[in-house]
Amino acid sequence: MSDQINWPSKNYAWFFTTLLLITYTVSFIDRAMINLLIDPIRNDLALSDIQMGQILGPGFMISYILFSLPVGRMVDKFNRIAVLIGGILLWSLATAAHGFSSDYYSLFVSRAGVGAGEAAVTPASWSIIADLFRPEDRAFPMSFYLMGPYIGQGLALLFGGLVIQLYTDPVEFFGFVLQPWQMIFILIAIPGFILSLGLAFLTDPVRKGIINKENQHEESFVDVIKYIKGKFVAYFTLMIAASFIVVLLYTFQAWVPTYISRIHGWDLSRVGYLFGIVTLVSGSLGVLSGPVVEKFLERRNIKNSTHTVFLISSLAVAIIPAFTFLFVTEQFVLPGMFIISFFITLPMACFASGLQKMTPQNYRGSVSGLYVFIMNIVGLSLGPTVVPFFTSVIFENDMSINIALSNTFLIFGPLSFLIFFLGRKSLNRELQSQH
């Protein structure tokens, strides 16, 4: 059927996808910068690890989740570029507001604004990419787009480390006296405003793909839920098992810079430079490698190659990090983090492309919104908060962060593997549907 559809030229499709990658990258720079600045913010605002965990997790998560489902419906019904631009403007304003935060509450509200704006990125982008490329060609463009978080995380650490090194004293900014960490947030808000102007010149692609023929009337979210309910085991397996990998991704991004600083004694500028490079390279390599491994397994006539990628990655993150955080020495900390980051990110593109395969075109925005909702209600509620729960409540020792990280991976890695294994039959059946 895809051969009968008038698809955009490859050059235009890749140009558009590159802009979506840049959008995702900028969103993650604004989201992830705070991970490098935990201790400076904590010291200046007199916050605890628990409070920082609340800002990193629930502060972002609550608004992100509340907006994910309605934004998903907007993506299915309205101009997707307009929805995306609205999100960019909102999160950029909220990022700049971080720079004027003076206490826990103002920082929490600013973080919530970033979450609300960024809720538009994934549903809109995934839906657009699905209308730029044929189903059989989507995996690599999706993996290309999904490099955004890892490029963004890496650039956030690199840029943050540079500014911390250059500015050690308060800076005057239009009459405000700001700490270096506050100035960083104001500076990183600027690219979002520029990007929104560039996207305004693009046209929303014509919607394509298989429509769910059982519901050709104007679909409501109830119709979407009915469709998912009919394939419940497959969707449950993918979304819940993937969400536990996302818990580990957010844990890694939120607390590894602080782990390196506390346990191995590195200053934050060094952490920013070196860990930023590791995150950028290993995360991008991991997310690009997922479809490559999938195709390699297919050529070896291994059935259910997509699901095999899920099992490999969930098993790896169940074992490797638990020992690395406990026993790695300073000289091997970066190679260790490289390996962990690679296996966490390996299945991410396959999660996204698999979801598009399973879902009819007229439900993709809503299902992507639901996916984002679940990923983040699980990932952001647990990822940034489990580690400080261990350090502050269980061990009552900030220097136990290595044990806390090890325990977190030992909990959620095996859970993900178990769910993927138990739901394999239903999931594999739906992955063959190729919408």
Q: For residues 40 and 257, is the Cβ–Cβ distance under 8 A?
A: no
Separation of alpha carbons 144 and 156, rounded Å: 19
Q: For residues 220 and 363, is the Cβ–Cβ distance under 8 A?
A: no
- Per-residue pLDDT, averaged over 281-303, amounts to 84
Separation of alpha carbons 92 and 425, rounded Å: 43
**What pLDDT shows up at residue 1?**
46
The structure tokens 């608004």 sit at 63
Separation of alpha carbons 26 and 190, rounded Å: 10
Select from 320, 327, 322, 325 the least CA-distant residue to 342.
320
Burial (CB < 10 A; 0-12, 13-18, 19+), residue 114, is buried
Q: 57-66, 360-369, 419-428 — which is least confidently predicted?
A: 360-369
Separation of alpha carbons 267 and 260, rounded Å: 9
- For residue 184, name the pLDDT band (cuts at 50, 70, 90): confident
Dihedral sign computed on CA atoms, order 431, 432, 434, 435: negative
The total number of structural domains that make up the chain = 1
- Per-residue pLDDT, averaged over 247-255, amounts to 89
356 vs 83, residue with greater confidence: 83
Separation of alpha carbons 402 and 326, rounded Å: 6
Give the up-direction half-sphere exposure of residue 315: CA atoms within 13 A in the CB hemisphere: 7
**What pLDDT shows up at residue 192?**
93
- Per-residue pLDDT, averaged over 159-182, amounts to 75
The percent of residues in the chain predicted with pLDDT above 90, rounded, is: 23
Could you tell me if residue 126 is inside a domain? yes
Residue 306: pLDDT over 70: yes
- For residue 32, name the pLDDT band (cuts at 50, 70, 90): confident
Could you tell me if residue 218 is inside a domain? no
Render pLDDT for 386-427 as a digit per residue (tens, 0 to 9): 998 898 888 888 888 889 999 999 999 999 999 988 988 888
- Per-residue pLDDT, averaged over 15-20, amounts to 92
Residue 226: pLDDT over 90: no
Could you tell me if residue 187 is inside a domain? yes
- For residue 215, name the pLDDT band (cuts at 50, 70, 90): very low
Could you tell me if residue 219 is inside a domain? no
- Per-residue pLDDT, averaged over 229-255, amounts to 89
Separation of alpha carbons 385 and 399, rounded Å: 16
**What pLDDT shows up at residue 5?**
65
Q: For residues 239 and 351, is the Cβ–Cβ distance under 8 A?
A: no
pTM: 0.73
Mean pLDDT over the full length of the chain = 84
**What pLDDT shows up at residue 194?**
93
Residue 209: pLDDT over 60: no
- For residue 213, name the pLDDT band (cuts at 50, 70, 90): very low
The neighbour count for residue 302, using CB atoms within 10 Å, is: 11
State the amino acid at position 13 in one-letter form.
Answer: A
* Maximum average pLDDT range among 9-13, 33-37, 142-146, 339-343: 339-343
Could you tell me if residue 220 is inside a domain? no
- Structural domain of 282: 2-202+227-431
- Per-residue pLDDT, averaged over 154-160, amounts to 80
- The encoded tokens of residue 141 equal 């463009």
Dihedral sign computed on CA atoms, order 314, 277, 266, 43: negative
Could you tell me if residue 33 is inside a domain? yes
User: What CATH number is given to the structural domain containing 421?
Assistant: 1.20.1250.20
Separation of alpha carbons 433 and 435, rounded Å: 6
Length of the chain: 435
Q: 189-198, 268-277, 399-408 — which is least confidently predicted?
A: 268-277
Q: 240-249, 292-301, 353-362, 388-397 — which is least confidently predicted?
A: 353-362
Could you tell me if residue 217 is inside a domain? no
Could you tell me if residue 165 is inside a domain? yes
Q: Could you give phi then psi for residue 41, rounded to 5 degrees?
A: -65, -45
